[in-house]
Structure 1
C-alpha cells in the first residue's frame, strides 16, 4: 500500500472517531443523575478526546518516521475505539429509553444491573487503554524532532530511556489486562441477570468485552512497534552514535543537532566517518 494512503487512513479515521467520542460525552452529560460508573466513563472519553487531538497534530513527516506498520496499527486501534463508542451509544439509548428531560429515571437506574455495569466497566477500560496507546504514539512521533533540539549526548540517552521505560510499562499493563479479559468473558457467561435485565443486555456486555479483547491486541501491536522504534534509537545511542537517530524505514539523510564527536553515516551501503 502507498505510504501516503496509510497516513491518510489514520488521519481520516481520527476525525470521525473524535466526533463520535464527543457525541457520546454529550449524551452522558445529559443524564443529570448518572451513576458513578457513568461519570468515570465520561472522564475516560474526555481523555481519549485529548489523545485523538494529539494524534491529529502528528505531521506527515512524523508518521513516516514511525513507519508504515505503526501507522497502520494505529489506524486499527482508533477504528476499534470508534466502533466501541458507536456500540455503546446504541446500548445507552436503549437503557435510557424511559428517561425524560435529561434525567435518568428511577426505572432505568434500577435496571443498571450486572451486565450493564460490566459493559460500562469494560468500555472504560478499553478507553483507558486507547488513551495510553494514542498518547504513546503522539509522544514517540514527536520524539524524533525533540532529539534534534537536545544539547548533549546524555540528554539524548535520558530522553530515549524514559520513553523506552514508559512504552515497556504500557506493554506490560496491556498484557496483564488481556489476561483479565478472558476471566471477564467467562464470568459474564455464568452470571445471572439482575432484575430488569434481558438477554440482550448479556449479549451486549459480552460483545463489548470481546471488543475490548480485540482492541487490546491491536494496542499491543502499536506499542510493540513503538518499542522497536525506540530500541533502534537506543541502540544507536549506546553504540556512540547519539547524534544519529533513525526511526522507521522512511528516514533519509542525516539529522544532527549539536555534535561533538564522530558521526557514522551510510550512503548507498558504504559507511563514512565524518
Structure 2
C-alpha cells in the first residue's frame, strides 16, 4: 500500500471518530445532574480520544513497517468505535426525552442510572478495549521504528519482551471478554422486554452488544497480527545480537567478544 494512501486512509476514519466522540462527550457534560454511570463514561471517552490522537501521529514509515493487515484492522476497530458512539448518542437522546433544560427527570434518571446500567457498561468496556488495542498499535509502531534506526541494545531487547508479554495478555483478556459477550448477547436475544423499554431500546441494546462482539473479534485479529510482528522483530534483533566467535592465531589466545554493552579496560595488545 502506498504510504500516502495509508495516511489518508487512517486519518479519513480517525478524524470523524474523534468528532463523534467529542459530540457524545458534550452531550453527557450537558447533563448537569448525570448519574455516576454516565460520569464514569466521560473518562473512557477522554482516554479513547487521547489514543486516537496518538494513532494520528503515527508516521507513514511506521505504518509501512506494521504492514497492510494492521492498517486495515486498525481502521475496522476505529470505525466500529465510531458506530458505537453514534448508536449510544441516539440511545441517550431517547433515554432523556422526558427531561427539560438538560436536567434529568426522575423517570429518565431511573432509566439511565439503573435500567440502562448494562448498556452503559457495555459501551464503557468497548471504549476501554479500543483504547488498549489502538495504544498497542502505537507502541508497536514506535518499537519498529526504533529497531530500524539503530542496533538493538540490551535495554531494547527488554522492551521487546515486555511488549510481547503485554500484547499476549491483551489477547488472553480479549478471549475472556468474547466469551462473556457471547453469553450476554444470547441472553439479551431471548430476554423479555422490560417495563418502560421501547422496542427501539431493546433493538439498540442488542445492537450495542453485537457491536461489542464485533469489536472484540476485530481487536483480537489486530492484536494477533501485532504479536506476530513483534515475534519477527524480536527474532531478527536476537539474531543481530548473536555472539561472534573470533580465533586469534594458532594458539587461540586473546579475548573474544560477540556483543558488549559495557566498558572494557585493562587490555594490552601485543606479544607476551
Q: How far, CA to CA, are the matches of 1:204 and 1:6 in structure 2?
A: 33
Cα separation, partners in 2 of 1:32 and 1:194, compared to 1, 3 Å: farther
Q: How far, CA to CA, are the matches of 2:3 and 2:144 in structure 1?
A: 19
Q: How far, CA to CA, are the matches of 2:203 and 2:114 in structure 1?
A: 12
Count of aligned residue pairs for this structure pair: 245
Q: Is the 8 A contact 1:115 1:193 kept in 2?
A: no
* Alignment-derived partner of residue 98 in structure 2: 98
* Alignment-derived partner of residue 234 in structure 2: 234
5 Å-filtered alignment, 1:47-126, equals 47-112=47-112, 116-126=116-126
Q: In structure 1, the residue corresponding to 2:97 is in which secondary structure?
A: coil
Cα separation, partners in 2 of 1:114 and 1:29, compared to 1, 3 Å: closer
Q: How far, CA to CA, are the matches of 2:151 and 2:73 in structure 1?
A: 33
Note the residue ranges of structure 1 that are not aligned, 5 or more in a row.
243-259, 262-274
5 Å-filtered alignment, 1:128-167, equals 128-147=128-147, 153-167=153-167
After TM superposition, give the deviation of residue 200 of structure 1 in Å: 2.0
* Alignment-derived partner of residue 246 in structure 2: none
- Answer with 172-181 or 33-42: which moved more: 33-42
After TM superposition, give the deviation of residue 66 of structure 1 in Å: 0.6
* Alignment-derived partner of residue 183 in structure 2: 183
Q: How far, CA to CA, are the matches of 1:117 and 1:199 in structure 2?
A: 18
After TM superposition, give the deviation of residue 149 of structure 1 in Å: 7.0
After TM superposition, give the deviation of residue 6 of structure 1 in Å: 3.7
Q: How far, CA to CA, are the matches of 2:172 and 2:226 in structure 1?
A: 14
* Alignment-derived partner of residue 207 in structure 1: 207
Deviation readout 1:233-264 (Å, 9 max, x if unpaired): 1111232448xxxxxxxxxxxxxxxxx85xxx
TM-score by length of 2: 0.83
Note the residue ranges of structure 2 that are not aligned, 5 or more in a row.
243-257, 260-272
Which structure: larger Rg? 2
Q: How far, CA to CA, are the matches of 1:176 and 1:211 in structure 2?
A: 16
Deviation readout 1:102-142 (Å, 9 max, x if unpaired): 21221211233876322211111111110001111111111
Q: How far, CA to CA, are the matches of 1:231 and 1:62 in structure 2?
A: 17
Alpha carbon RMSD of aligned pairs, Å?
Answer: 2.2
